[in-house]
Structure 1
C-alpha cells in the first residue's frame, strides 16, 4: 500500500508552499504577533480563499473544490510550516467538517458555500474551563432555540461569525458575533476568547448526543491538526539544521559536534514517527474507515510530541540568540503549544489512544 502523496497532490503541495513563501513570510506572522489589535491577517485570509483552499474538501455541489481530505491534509501541512496566522483550522477542520458530518441539507446549502468563499469565519466552542469536557461540566443550555452559557477558551471565537456550540443536549449553530472577551495566550497569532451566550438564537446541528458528536468532529480535526503540526515540526528541523551549519564555534560549524548531531537526529526520528501516523490518519479520514478513532488518536499524540520537541530543540540549537524576540524559533514554539491544546490536551488523547487499543484487542 502506498501512503505517499500522488503526483497531483505533490504538485498541489508545491504550489501551496510557493504561495505561502510569498504571502506568509515571518514578517506577516510577526505583524499579527506584534499588534495586539490584530487577531489574524486579513490579506492572507482573502488570498487563501481565492486559492480555493477553504473548500478543498467541500463537495462541488456546495461550492467547494471537491478534492478530498488527503489534499486538505497536504494544505494543512504547508499552513503549519508557514505558521499561518489565519483561522483556517477553526473554520475548516472543525466547523466545515461538523457541517459535512452532521448538518442537514439546508444547513449545508446555507453555510458551506460561504465557508468555501471565505465569507464565514468559524469557531468550535466546547470547553467551559480547565480539564476535559464531560457531561458533568457542561452548563450551557438551550431552551426554545435560545442558548445561554459561557465557553472558555474558544480559538478564534472573537472573530467568528458562525459558531458551533456544545450544550447539554447536543451541538448547536449560532450566528456571531456574540459577546466576547479576548484572552491573553502564548500564541497571539491565533486568538482565543471567552464567549458569553445570553439567549442567542441557536439551531440544532444533528440529532446525536453532544459529546458523541463532538468526539466525531474532534477525530476528523485531529488528523488535520496533526498535519499542521508535522509541517511546523519539519520547518523547525530545517531551521535548526541551517543554523547549525552556519554557526561557527572553535573554528568549525556547530553541526559537526556530536551533541548537535544527536539533537537534530532525535528531532528527525520523532518527525518521521509523526509522519507515518499522520499518513495513517489521512487514509482513515479519507476512506471513512472504522479505524479513524484509533488513527486520529495515534496521529494526534505523535504529532503533538514531535512539534513540541522540534520547536524546543530548535531554540536550544540556536543558543542564546534563540531566546531573543528578534529570532524566529519562538514562532514555532508558540504555535506548537497552541495546537497541542486545541481539541483536547495531549493527555486526553493518550487516554483515548489507550482506550481504542484496548477495545481493538478485546474484539
Structure 2
C-alpha cells in the first residue's frame, strides 16, 4: 500500500507553493490589512488562471475533475501562505454544495463560472449562537427570509448557498435589494465575516436532499489540510528564528526546552497530516469511513495548528506579538479556523457518534 502522494500530486503542490510564494508574501498580507482589503483579488485571478479553482469541479463543467486529495494539496499550500482568498467558501463549500445538491441546470449555470473565478460564492449555515448548522431560514414560493451570521467572505460573494429549514439548500444571488449584508468585527482581518439578512429575497431551491453531512465532512477534511499547511509554516518559522536568535552566547534552538517544544509541534503536525490524507482517501474511496475520518482529521488539525501558532509566538518572545513580525497572521487564522464549521466539542461528538465504517465492519 502506498501512503505517499503521487508524483502528479507533488507537482501540483509545488506549483501552488511557487505561485503563493511569488504573489502572497507576508508584506503583501500587511498591505492588504493596512488598506482594509477584504481579499487578494489578483491572487484569486492567478489561481483561476492556473486551474486551481476548478481542481475538484467536474470536467464537463469547466473544471479539472480531480479528487479530494488533490484539492487537499492545494489547501495545504494555501494554509501555509495564510492566503487571503475565499477558496474554502467558494470552492470547498459552495461549489461542492452545488455539485452535490444542485440541479443539472444549476450546475451548468454556476460551476463553470466558479471554476473560472468569474463568480465568488459562499456557504451560509450559521444563525448566531445556537446550533452550528441552523435551519431557521425559510424558503417559500421562491422567496427566502431569515438571517445568517457569521458568513465568511459574504462581502465579496456574488452567490450564496444557504442552509434552510428541513436541512435543504437554496441558491441566492446576493446583489439584490432584498439582501442586506453587514460586516462584522473579525479577529482574522484577512477572512472577513458578515451578517446577511434575507428579506423575501429571490432564491432557487436545490433538489438534492440529505447532502449536508457529506458536504460538511468533506469540508472538514479540507480544513484539516489547511491547518496542517499553516502549522508546518509556523514550525518552520519558529525553527528558523530559534536557529538565528543568539542568547547567552548560543543559538536559542540549542536549548533543550526549545527543542522539545518544536519536536512536540512536529509530531502533532505529522499526525494531523496522516489523518488528513486518510480523510481525503475516504472522501474518494470509502464513504462509509468518511464521517469518522473527517472528524479525526478535523480534531487533529485543530490541535496541531493551535499548538504550532502558540508555540511560534512563545519561541519568538515579545517581538512575535508585533505587527511587524509574521506570527500573528497564523494565530489569527488559527483562532478563526478553530470554530469554523464547528468547534472541537462539536467534532468530538461527531467522532464518538460516527457509524463504524468498512474497516470496523470487516474486523
**SS at structure 2 position matched to 1:290:** helix
Using the TM superposition, give the Cα deviation of residue 69 of structure 1 relative to its aligned residue in structure 2, in angstroms. 2.0
More displaced 10-residue stretch of structure 1: 79-88 or 287-296: 287-296
Deviations 1:166-194 (A, max 9, x none): 11132101111331001111101001000
Residue 125 (structure 2) pairs with residue 129 (structure 1) = no
**Rounded Cα–Cα distance in structure 2 between residues aligned with 1:361 and 1:91:** 33
Deviations 1:4-58 (A, max 9, x none): 111111111111111110011112222222233x100111111111111000011
Given that 2:289 and 2:359 are in contact with CA atoms closer than 8 Å, whether structure 1 keeps it comes out as no
Using the TM superposition, give the Cα deviation of residue 205 of structure 1 relative to its aligned residue in structure 2, in angstroms. 1.4
- Matches for 1:256-295 after TM superposition, within 5 Å: 256-295=254-293
Deviations 1:281-314 (A, max 9, x none): 0101122531111111110010011011101100
- Matches for 1:221-232 after TM superposition, within 5 Å: 221-232=219-230
**Rounded Cα–Cα distance in structure 1 between residues aligned with 2:9 and 2:67:** 10
Shift in CA distance, 163/320, structure 1 to aligned 2, threshold 3 Å: same
**Rounded Cα–Cα distance in structure 2 between residues aligned with 1:283 and 1:5:** 11
Alignment root-mean-square deviation, CA: 1.6
User: How many pairs are equivalent?
Assistant: 357
Aligned equivalent of 2:57: 58
Using the TM superposition, give the Cα deviation of residue 104 of structure 1 relative to its aligned residue in structure 2, in angstroms. 1.4
**Rounded Cα–Cα distance in structure 2 between residues aligned with 1:288 and 1:49:** 30
**SS at structure 1 position matched to 2:319:** helix
Structure 1 spans left out of the alignment, 5+ residues: none
**Rounded Cα–Cα distance in structure 2 between residues aligned with 1:302 and 1:360:** 22
Given that 1:132 and 1:344 are in contact with CA atoms closer than 8 Å, whether structure 2 keeps it comes out as no
Given that 1:229 and 1:304 are in contact with CA atoms closer than 8 Å, whether structure 2 keeps it comes out as yes
Residue 118 (structure 2) pairs with residue 119 (structure 1) = yes
Using the TM superposition, give the Cα deviation of residue 360 of structure 1 relative to its aligned residue in structure 2, in angstroms. 8.5
Aligned equivalent of 1:192: 193
Using the TM superposition, give the Cα deviation of residue 357 of structure 1 relative to its aligned residue in structure 2, in angstroms. 6.2
Aligned equivalent of 1:139: 136
**SS at structure 2 position matched to 1:206:** coil
**Rounded Cα–Cα distance in structure 1 between residues aligned with 2:343 and 2:58:** 31
Shift in CA distance, 263/119, structure 1 to aligned 2, threshold 3 Å: same
Shift in CA distance, 272/239, structure 1 to aligned 2, threshold 3 Å: same
**Rounded Cα–Cα distance in structure 2 between residues aligned with 1:197 and 1:31:** 33
Structure 2 spans left out of the alignment, 5+ residues: none
